[in-house]
Amino acid sequence: MEDKMIRLSGIIHESLVNGPGIRRVFFSQGCKHKCKECFNPETHSFDGGELRNMDELIEELKSNPIISGVTFSGGDPFEQADKFSYMAQRIKALGLNIWCYTGYKFEYILNNLKDNEAWEKLINNIDVLVDGRFEITLRDESIKYRGSSNQRVIDVKSSLSGGEIITLY
């Protein structure tokens, strides 16, 4: 990939709440979903945040041995799927598992793969997808890893190989 710059709204270096274990979280900048009462409205603009070099982010990640996984959050990582798929391939090579949040539904992503090579690469390189828009009327603080009960924590590899959606938690 020639352009190694990814637009991020932020990074949490060691998080315990964005998936299991100690995780590095990369927050994408840019989102089209406009969920009512979104927690992160500053992440919606496609020219906000800051551009970061992906190879440098991976080198920083490698230098912390206690990280057990990486989470892509947002914003919506699927709006920069070419960049996040590059990140995902390099992170998988380090043996770390990858979670990804998106406002798109898993079924919508699968139905649009043939026109979108970057989405295909991204979905094939992540382990878990937390899908769907945040719905304020379905907000539930008691559920793990999600903001509203319509969202699902999907085991991507089992779902793709088995032909039906397998959820975790």
- Return residues touching ligand SF4 (CB under 6 A): 31, 33-35, 38, 40, 43, 74-76, 103, 133-134
The distance of closest approach from Cβ of residue 136 to ligand SF4 in the complex, given in angstroms and rounded to an integer, is 10
Q: How far is the CB of 142 from ligand SF4 (least distance, A)?
A: 18
C-beta of 116: minimal distance to ligand SF4 in Å? 18
Instruction: Write the single-letter amino acid at 98.
Output: I
Residue 35 vs 96, nearer CB to ligand SF4:
35
Task: Provide the 3-class DSSP secondary structure of residue 81.
Answer: helix
- Given the structure tokens 């590095």, which residue do they identify? 24
Minimum distance of ligand SF4 from residue 46's CB (angstroms): 12
Q: Pick between residue 19 and residue 103 the one whose CB is nearest to ligand SF4.
A: 103
| Minimum CB distance to ligand SF4 smaller for 76 or for 127 | 76
Contact 130, 153 (CB under 8 A): yes
The letter for the amino acid at 67 is I
DSSP string of 97-165, one letter each residue: EEEEE-SS-HHHHHHTGGG-HHHHHHHTT-SEEEES---GGGB-TTSTT-SBTT-EEEEHHHHHHHSS-
Distance CA(14)–CA(25), nearest Å, equals 8
| Inter-residue contact 7 to 28 (CB < 8 Å) | yes
CB of 60 to ligand SF4, least distance (A): 24
Residue number, 4 or 33, with CB nearest to ligand SF4 = 33
